Homo-oligomer: A and B are copies of this chain.
Protein backbone atom coordinates (compact mmCIF):
# COMPACT_ATOMS: atom_id res chain seq x y z
CA UNK A 1 0.00 0.00 0.00
CA UNK A 2 2.72 2.42 1.04
CA UNK A 3 4.88 0.54 -1.40
CA UNK A 4 2.38 1.27 -4.15
CA UNK A 5 2.44 4.97 -3.34
CA UNK A 6 6.21 5.04 -3.36
CA UNK A 7 6.18 3.53 -6.81
CA UNK A 8 3.82 6.23 -8.05
CA UNK A 9 6.06 9.02 -6.78
CA UNK A 10 9.09 7.32 -8.24
CA UNK A 11 7.50 7.10 -11.67
CA UNK A 12 6.23 10.66 -11.51
CA UNK A 13 9.71 11.86 -10.63
CA UNK A 14 11.41 9.69 -13.21
CA UNK A 15 8.99 10.71 -15.91
CA UNK A 16 9.32 14.43 -15.22
CA UNK A 17 13.10 14.13 -15.09
CA UNK A 18 13.29 12.20 -18.33
CA UNK A 19 11.07 14.68 -20.14
CA UNK A 20 13.01 17.71 -18.95
CA UNK A 21 16.42 16.16 -19.46
CA UNK A 22 15.59 15.06 -22.98
CA UNK A 23 14.25 18.52 -23.81
CA UNK A 24 16.78 20.83 -22.15
CA UNK A 25 19.83 18.62 -21.90
CA UNK A 26 21.48 17.23 -18.79
CA UNK A 27 23.56 20.16 -17.57
CA UNK A 28 20.89 22.75 -18.28
CA UNK A 29 18.22 20.96 -16.28
CA UNK A 30 18.22 21.66 -12.57
CA UNK A 31 16.80 19.46 -9.89
CA UNK A 32 14.57 22.32 -8.82
CA UNK A 33 12.92 22.20 -12.24
CA UNK A 34 12.42 18.46 -11.98
CA UNK A 35 10.86 18.53 -8.52
CA UNK A 36 8.67 21.46 -9.52
CA UNK A 37 7.39 19.46 -12.48
CA UNK A 38 6.83 16.38 -10.33
CA UNK A 39 5.23 18.30 -7.47
CA UNK A 40 7.47 17.09 -4.68
CA UNK A 41 10.17 18.72 -2.61
CA UNK A 42 13.83 18.83 -3.48
CA UNK A 43 14.62 16.72 -0.47
CA UNK A 44 12.26 13.99 -1.63
CA UNK A 45 14.05 13.73 -4.95
CA UNK A 46 17.19 12.60 -3.17
CA UNK A 47 15.21 10.02 -1.24
CA UNK A 48 14.41 8.30 -4.53
CA UNK A 49 17.59 8.93 -6.49
CA UNK A 50 21.17 9.18 -5.31
CA UNK A 51 22.02 11.91 -7.80
CA UNK A 52 20.86 13.60 -10.96
CA UNK A 53 22.76 11.06 -13.01
CA UNK A 54 21.05 8.32 -11.07
CA UNK A 55 17.66 9.13 -12.59
CA UNK A 56 18.97 8.02 -15.95
CA UNK A 57 21.37 5.35 -14.83
CA UNK A 58 19.57 3.30 -12.17
CA UNK A 59 17.52 1.22 -14.51
CA UNK A 60 20.68 0.09 -16.27
CA UNK A 61 21.58 -1.82 -13.15
CA UNK A 62 18.34 -3.82 -13.23
CA UNK A 63 18.77 -4.37 -16.93
CA UNK A 64 22.21 -5.80 -16.31
CA UNK A 65 20.86 -8.16 -13.68
CA UNK A 66 18.22 -9.44 -16.08
CA UNK A 67 20.83 -10.05 -18.75
CA UNK A 68 22.91 -12.01 -16.27
CA UNK A 69 19.93 -14.14 -15.32
CA UNK A 70 19.15 -14.70 -18.96
CA UNK A 71 22.70 -15.83 -19.61
CA UNK A 72 22.60 -18.22 -16.67
CA UNK A 73 19.42 -19.73 -18.13
CA UNK A 74 21.00 -20.54 -21.50
CA UNK A 75 21.74 -24.20 -22.26
CA UNK A 76 25.14 -25.35 -21.05
CA UNK A 77 26.48 -26.51 -24.41
CA UNK A 78 25.82 -23.25 -26.22
CA UNK A 79 28.90 -21.31 -27.40
CA UNK A 80 29.62 -18.16 -25.37
CA UNK A 81 28.93 -15.75 -28.23
CA UNK A 82 25.56 -17.25 -29.03
CA UNK A 83 24.60 -17.39 -25.36
CA UNK A 84 25.39 -13.74 -24.76
CA UNK A 85 23.69 -12.71 -27.96
CA UNK A 86 20.59 -14.57 -26.83
CA UNK A 87 20.73 -13.04 -23.36
CA UNK A 88 20.86 -9.59 -24.94
CA UNK A 89 17.59 -10.25 -26.77
CA UNK A 90 15.94 -9.09 -23.59
CA UNK A 91 17.28 -5.59 -24.12
CA UNK A 92 16.53 -5.71 -27.81
CA UNK A 93 12.90 -6.46 -27.01
CA UNK A 94 12.80 -3.69 -24.46
CA UNK A 95 13.98 -1.21 -27.06
CA UNK A 96 11.41 -2.17 -29.63
CA UNK A 97 8.60 -1.64 -27.13
CA UNK A 98 9.02 2.13 -27.33
CA UNK A 99 11.66 2.94 -29.96
CA UNK A 100 11.23 6.73 -29.83
CA UNK A 101 11.78 6.88 -26.10
CA UNK A 102 14.66 4.43 -26.31
CA UNK A 103 16.41 6.48 -28.97
CA UNK A 104 15.95 9.70 -27.00
CA UNK A 105 17.34 8.07 -23.89
CA UNK A 106 20.26 6.57 -25.75
CA UNK A 107 21.19 9.83 -27.43
CA UNK A 108 20.96 11.65 -24.13
CA UNK A 109 23.18 9.09 -22.50
CA UNK A 110 25.79 8.84 -25.24
CA UNK A 111 25.79 12.59 -25.81
CA UNK A 112 26.33 13.70 -22.22
CA UNK A 113 29.87 13.13 -20.93
CA UNK A 114 28.81 12.58 -17.33
CA UNK A 115 26.11 10.09 -18.31
CA UNK A 116 28.22 8.34 -20.89
CA UNK A 117 30.94 7.83 -18.32
CA UNK A 118 28.46 6.31 -15.88
CA UNK A 119 27.01 4.16 -18.59
CA UNK A 120 30.43 2.78 -19.41
CA UNK A 121 31.05 2.09 -15.75
CA UNK A 122 27.82 0.14 -15.48
CA UNK A 123 28.72 -1.73 -18.59
CA UNK A 124 32.06 -2.65 -17.10
CA UNK A 125 30.21 -4.04 -14.11
CA UNK A 126 27.97 -6.10 -16.35
CA UNK A 127 31.00 -7.30 -18.23
CA UNK A 128 32.54 -8.59 -15.04
CA UNK A 129 29.31 -10.39 -14.23
CA UNK A 130 29.13 -11.96 -17.66
CA UNK A 131 32.75 -13.03 -17.33
CA UNK A 132 32.21 -14.98 -14.12
CA UNK A 133 29.17 -16.64 -15.63
CA UNK A 134 31.10 -17.57 -18.77
CA UNK A 135 33.91 -18.91 -16.63
CA UNK A 136 31.44 -20.99 -14.65
CA UNK A 137 30.05 -22.42 -17.87
CA UNK A 138 33.44 -23.29 -19.28
CA UNK A 139 34.91 -24.46 -16.00
CA UNK A 140 37.75 -21.93 -16.14
CA UNK A 141 39.17 -20.05 -13.18
CA UNK A 142 38.31 -16.37 -13.76
CA UNK A 143 40.99 -15.12 -11.37
CA UNK A 144 43.84 -16.46 -13.47
CA UNK A 145 42.28 -16.89 -16.88
CA UNK A 146 41.27 -13.62 -18.53
CA UNK A 147 39.67 -15.27 -21.53
CA UNK A 148 36.10 -15.15 -20.27
CA UNK A 149 36.59 -11.52 -19.34
CA UNK A 150 37.83 -10.75 -22.81
CA UNK A 151 35.00 -12.67 -24.44
CA UNK A 152 32.45 -10.74 -22.42
CA UNK A 153 34.19 -7.49 -23.33
CA UNK A 154 34.14 -8.30 -27.01
CA UNK A 155 30.46 -9.21 -26.96
CA UNK A 156 29.50 -6.06 -25.10
CA UNK A 157 31.52 -3.98 -27.49
CA UNK A 158 29.54 -5.45 -30.32
CA UNK A 159 26.44 -4.36 -28.44
CA UNK A 160 27.92 -0.91 -27.97
CA UNK A 161 28.72 -0.45 -31.60
CA UNK A 162 25.23 -1.62 -32.46
CA UNK A 163 23.61 0.75 -30.00
CA UNK A 164 25.53 3.74 -31.33
CA UNK A 165 24.69 2.87 -34.91
CA UNK A 166 21.05 2.22 -34.13
CA UNK A 167 20.61 5.49 -32.23
CA UNK A 168 22.46 7.41 -34.94
CA UNK A 169 20.00 6.04 -37.45
CA UNK A 170 17.10 7.27 -35.34
CA UNK A 171 15.98 3.79 -34.36
CA UNK A 172 14.61 3.04 -37.81
CA UNK A 173 16.69 -0.08 -38.38
CA UNK A 174 15.91 -3.29 -36.56
CA UNK A 175 18.11 -3.52 -33.51
CA UNK A 176 18.24 -7.30 -33.47
CA UNK A 177 19.34 -7.44 -37.07
CA UNK A 178 22.18 -4.95 -36.62
CA UNK A 179 23.26 -6.74 -33.48
CA UNK A 180 23.50 -10.01 -35.40
CA UNK A 181 25.56 -8.26 -38.04
CA UNK A 182 27.93 -6.84 -35.44
CA UNK A 183 28.39 -10.23 -33.85
CA UNK A 184 29.08 -11.71 -37.26
CA UNK A 185 31.68 -9.03 -38.04
CA UNK A 186 33.51 -9.60 -34.78
CA UNK A 187 37.21 -10.24 -35.34
CA UNK A 188 36.61 -13.55 -33.60
CA UNK A 189 33.78 -16.06 -33.58
CA UNK A 190 33.49 -16.37 -29.79
CA UNK A 191 32.72 -20.03 -30.19
CA UNK A 192 34.73 -21.51 -27.41
Residues of A within 8 A of B (CB): 113, 116-118, 120-121, 124, 145-147, 149-151, 153-154, 157-158, 160-161, 165, 182, 185-190, 192
- Write out the residue numbers on chain B whose beta carbons fall within 8 Å of the beta carbon of A187: 147, 150-151, 154, 188, 190, 192
**Residues of A contacting B: mostly:** helix
Copies assembled: 2
- Write out the residue numbers on chain B whose beta carbons fall within 8 Å of the beta carbon of A120: 117, 120-121, 124
Contact indicator B154/A185 (Cβ below 8 Å) = no
Question: 23 A–B contact pairs at CB < 8 A?
Answer: A116-B121, A117-B117, A117-B118, A120-B121, A120-B124, A146-B165, A146-B185, A147-B185, A147-B187, A149-B161, A150-B154, A150-B157, A150-B158, A150-B182, A150-B185, A150-B186, A150-B187, A153-B157, A153-B160, A153-B161, A186-B188, A187-B190, A187-B192
